[in-house]
């Protein structure tokens, strides 16, 4: 695996570490969503770097997923990707605090986002270790 790809995965792991510290705080479910989105984004960017697909200033997970999909050897839950995309911008600003269509993410939502982020980073790491560029 290329060094830059590894750096993206290390940055993604840092988001998981933050989530682990706040996952049980019901007041921070929107931040769990934000860091889950960031973990997945950085993991997908590791694929982009590994396969030298260019520098992309894209934050939309659906677009990133479509770009890297031909290089993946594992599945990603597209519903979670869509949900995290809906939350991404709002999670950073106080007005809506990262609201889903039905309001602030529940503790169960937060745990589901965390599990999705864990699955993506693990899938990307495994893929890059087995199928380097």
pTM for the complete prediction? Answer: 0.88
Residue 94 has pLDDT above 70, yes or no: no
pLDDT in tens, 106-125: 899 999 999 999 999 999 99
The alpha carbon of residue 71 and the mean position of all alpha carbons in its chain are separated, in whole angstroms, by 17
Over pLDDT 90: what percentage of the chain? 55
Residue 92 has pLDDT above 90, yes or no: no
Q: Are 52 and 110 in contact (CB under 8 A)?
A: no
Residue 25's domain comprises: 3-130
pLDDT at 100: 53
CATH of the domain at 101: 1.20.120.330
Three-state DSSP state, 113: helix
pLDDT at 91: 46
Any residues with CB less than 8 A from the CB of 9 and at least 6 apart, and which?
A: 42, 43, 46, 121, 124, 125, 128
Total domains in the chain come to 1
DSSP string of 79-98, one letter each residue:
HHHHHHHHHHTGGGSTTTSS
Please state, in angstroms and rounded to a whole number, the distance separating the CA atoms of residues 59 and 72.
19
């Amino acid at each position: 695996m290329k060094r830059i790809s590894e750096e993206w995965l290390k940055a993604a792991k840092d988001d998981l570490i933050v989530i682990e510290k706040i996952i049980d705080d019901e007041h921070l479910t929107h931040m769990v969503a934000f860091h889950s989105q960031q973990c997945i984004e950085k993991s997908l960017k590791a694929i982009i770097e590994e396969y030298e697909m260019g520098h992309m200033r894209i934050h939309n997970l659906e677009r990133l997923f479509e770009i890297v999909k031909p290089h993946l050897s594992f599945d990603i839950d597209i519903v979670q990707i869509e949900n995290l995309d809906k939350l991404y911008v709002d999670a950073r600003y106080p007005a809506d605090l990262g609201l889903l269509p039905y309001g602030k993410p529940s503790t169960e939502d937060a745990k589901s986002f965390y599990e999705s982020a864990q699955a993506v980073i693990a899938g990307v790491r495994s893929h890059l270790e087995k199928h380097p560029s």
